[in-house]
Amino acid sequence: MTLIDEIAELKEKEQAVILAHNYEPGPVQDLADFVGDSLALARWAATTPARILVMAGVYFMAETASILCPDKTVLIPDPEAGCSLADTITPEELMTWKANYPNAAVVSYVNTSAAIKALSDYCCTSSNAVQVVQHIPAEQDILFLPDFFLGSHVKRVTKRQNLHIWHGECHVHAAIDNEAMTAVVEKNPDAELLIHPECGCTTRALAIPPKTPGLVLSTDGMLLHARTSVASQFIVATEVGLLHRLRKENPDKTFIAAHDDALCPYMNKISLEKIRDALLYHRYEVRVPSPIRDRALIPLERMVQIA
Ligand code: 13P
Ligand code: SF4
């Protein structure tokens, strides 16, 4: 029996589903029941009738699923699949920051631990961060965390001077900097530019004069745009795992990675073997304990309502 057949059999026996993020390795995406960005994964986890969810993604995504669906068993095939961005702020640091702005609303990107979400007022993803911030009364201070580049993008779009931004970054996206972008745009002047807001280039790349202005989009936003755009060539400034789905869905179009080395080591910890073992041994279960779960649910539900 092949590994894929083995997984299919175990999935049926366990009434399990596999959710994969858009950055997962190609074979993992191809096997999953659902592939999407952080927001889509959270929504799908909340609505599927399956009993067991295998999260082929990173740890905070499994925690988010557990917060939204406490009655389901959430498994992550490798508990070491963390996130360098989520690690840039601790609950103690957030409490100190909050003490300096006692009336501020805390907006946390979903790339944070459950403990950080529990100290937040709103969550957001890259696809709805602008909407969430626009929902907060104009006179209220906002503490936006942890991503500096996403925060800068939101500040520029919303023109909110009272939005304070944490200095965190994703090492994968930060490496897609102005220099990398300039080189790839110069080589491919006719390509459309799709930029994830976590990129180091986000605030400055738009100053590069490509033939068409760069579009700042989440991973699902890029997929949607590529499907509908009349362009035939795209420069993709995000983790390279997304190119698998872009190319699969648009075989007639050309997708060029802004940075060939933009590979998330955490997303790539997930493999078919580890998914099989997750189903076989019911490992590794991610369950957010009750007091934190109850508090972390509030900002997540607010986000889902706003978006
Ligand atoms: P998306 O919300 O666009 O899927 O991004 C998640 C992520 O981890 C980006 O690095
Ligand atoms: Fe975290 Fe960056 Fe990997 Fe996304 S790409 S999961 S932000 S380390």
Please give the domain boundaries of the chain with CATH numbers for all domains.
3-82+267-288 (3.40.50.10800), 86-169+295-306 (3.40.50.10800), 176-257 (3.40.50.10800)
Dist CA 11 CA 83 (whole Å):
27
> Which atom of ligand 2 is nearest to 266's Cα?
3
Distance 280 CA to ligand 2 centre (A): 27
Dist CA 64 CA 62 (whole Å):
5
Report whether 31 contacts 18 (CB < 8 A).
yes
65 lines ligand 2 (CB under 6 A): no
> Which atom of ligand 1 is nearest to 58's Cα?
8
User: For a pocket test of ligand 2, which of 112, 149, 173, 222 has the largest count of ligand atoms closer than 8 A to its C-beta?
Assistant: 173
Residue owning the nearest CA to atom 1 of ligand 2: 83
Residue 208 pairs in a beta bridge with none
Q: Tell me the per-residue pLDDT of 248-272, one tens digit each, with 9 for 90 and over.
A: 999 999 999 999 999 999 999 999 9
Q: What is the pTM of this model?
A: 0.95
DSSP state of 165: E
Closest ligand by atom to 218 CA: 1
Low-confidence stretches of the chain (pLDDT < 50) are none
Closest ligand by atom to 267 CA: 2
> Which atom of ligand 2 is nearest to 83's Cα?
1
288 lines ligand 2 (CB under 6 A): no
Sole residue written with tokens 């002047």: 189
How far lies 91's CA from each of 94, 145, 220, 238, 253, in Å? 5, 12, 29, 28, 44
pLDDT given for residue 209 in this prediction: 54
User: For a pocket test of ligand 2, which of 38, 41, 83, 222 has the largest count of ligand atoms closer than 8 A to its C-beta?
Assistant: 83
199 lines ligand 2 (CB under 6 A): no
Q: Beta strand 105-109 with 122-124: parallel, antiparallel or unpaired?
A: parallel
Extended strands (E) in 147-195: 163-165, 192-195
Q: Strand, helix or coil at 33?
A: coil
Q: Tell me the per-residue pLDDT of 86-134, one tens digit each, with 9 for 90 and over.
A: 999 999 999 999 999 999 999 999 999 999 999 999 999 999 999 999 9
Residues 6+ apart with CB under 8 A from 185: 191, 193, 208, 210, 235
pLDDT given for residue 268 in this prediction: 98
Average pLDDT of the chain, as a whole number = 94
pLDDT given for residue 178 in this prediction: 83
pLDDT given for residue 177 in this prediction: 86
pLDDT given for residue 212 in this prediction: 65
